[in-house]
Structures are given as structure tokens and as C-alpha cells.
Amino acid sequence: MPAMQTLKQYFKEQFTLFLFVSVLFVVGVVFGAVMVNALSLEQKQELGRYLSSFYRTIQDGAQVDGKQSMLAAFSLHMKWILLIWTLGLSVIGLPLILVLDFLKGVLIGFSVGFMVGQLSWKGIAFALVSIAPPNLIVVPAILICSVVSISFSLFIIKNRLVRRSGTIYHPFMRYSGVTLAMGVCMFGAALLEAFVSPTMMKWVTPMLAALTN
């Protein structure tokens, strides 16, 4: 398929940029995990009470509105990629895209780090069934959106601001097309987050409780 070959060639050409944003994301994850140790005792206790309450709610088999959760998750994920898409349209937004990649890593690293700090090995298992499934789609989608956004910004700088040559139509359509495709992926991630992760949490939580008794 020519379209797939063209897209594959494009991502091959942008490998260095992919590597850069991936490393930036990983640095954010590490930084987020380290941030847990910087919390005050009061902050840890407050977050710990919230986590324990959530854990008990799952353990008691509370019902979750899957449709509402899916819409909320999809809305949140789409805000991320639409913000990245918007920033890619402006030259000054380029560094902010990198900030968003780093921030996403911080959020995930902090969440996992806090779960592990509060629940020990149970936190690892809980993170694997609650945080990991949707983020297996969300994180690559955000990184892909970031790469095409940065690439588009660099194209604008090179061909519109410096040389003032070349058409912007095809790069813009490719840019928007990839973003739209990642939006579809985000819908899949929202379905996982709303229906698969809660089911896995309900399945794992009683097992974890039994092992600690």
C-alpha cells in the first residue's frame, strides 16, 4: 500500500526526533517517580487516604458508569493531542510540545511511584491493571502527535519563514491526518480505561487482599 509505505518512510526519516521525545518522556517518568519523595508527610497522608478509599471501593465491587468514564477519558486524551496539534501550527508552540511530553511522563511516573510507595508490591500490580493498559495506546499516540507537530513547525520555519517557498497544503493535510488517526486510537484507549481496566482491577484486587491476609 503506497500510503502505508509513505507513512513508514516518514517515520523512518523522523527516527531521531522520535528518539528525542521518547527520552524526554522517560526522563519525565523518572522525575515524577522521584517527586513522590519530595512530598510532605501531610500531602502523602492526604493522597494515601484517597488511594486507600479508591482501593476499598474497587474491593467492595462498586459499580462504575462505563459510558461516563469513557467519555471523560476520551475528552481528556483528545485535549492533549488537540493542544499539541494547535501548538504545532505556531513556531512559538514548539518548545511547549516538549514540555507537554515531559509533563505526561511526570504524571505517569508520579502516579506509579506513589502507588508503589503506598501499597508496596500491591501498588505495582494495581498500576499494571489500572494505569498500564490505556497508556500503552495513549503514550505512543501522544509521542507520534508530538513528532508530527514538531516536524510541521520545523517545516514552517524552514519553508515559510526562511525561504518562503513550497506549498503548505500537503504537509498540513498529512499532519492533520496523523492527528486524526491518533484521535481514533485515543478512543480505543478510552474504551480500555472505562471498561477493561475496571474489570481487571475488580479481578486483581480480591486476589491482592487475599494474599495479604
Q: Give 56-112 pLDDT, tens digit per residue.
A: 666 665 566 678 889 999 999 999 999 999 999 887 888 999 999 999 999 999 999
Q: Which three cell numbers stand for residue 120?
A: 508496596
Mean pLDDT of the chain, nearest integer: 84
**What pTM, to 2 d.p., does this model score?**
0.86
For residues 87 and 103, what is the distance between their CA atoms, to the nearest angstrom?
15
Total number of residues shown for the chain: 213
The Cα–Cα gap between 179 and 84 comes to 9
Q: Are 158 and 121 contacting, i.e. CB atoms less than 8 angstroms apart?
A: no
Most confidently predicted of 35-39, 96-100, 115-119, 203-207: 96-100
Give how far Cα 135 sits from Cα of 14, 93, 164, Å.
22, 24, 40
Q: Cell 513547525 belongs to which residue?
A: 153
CA dihedral of residues 38, 47, 49, 74 (deg, nearest 10): -150
Q: Residues 29-56: pLDDT tens digits? A: 999 999 988 888 888 888 877 777 766 6
CA 150, chain centre distance (Å): 17
CB contact set of 200 (below 8 Å; sequence gap of 6+): 129, 130, 133
193: number of Cβ within 10 Å: 25
Return the number of other C-beta atoms located less than 10 Å from residue 84's C-beta. 25
| Per-residue confidence (pLDDT) for residue 39, from 0 to 100 | 82
What type of residue sits at position 129? V
Greatest CA separation for the chain: 70
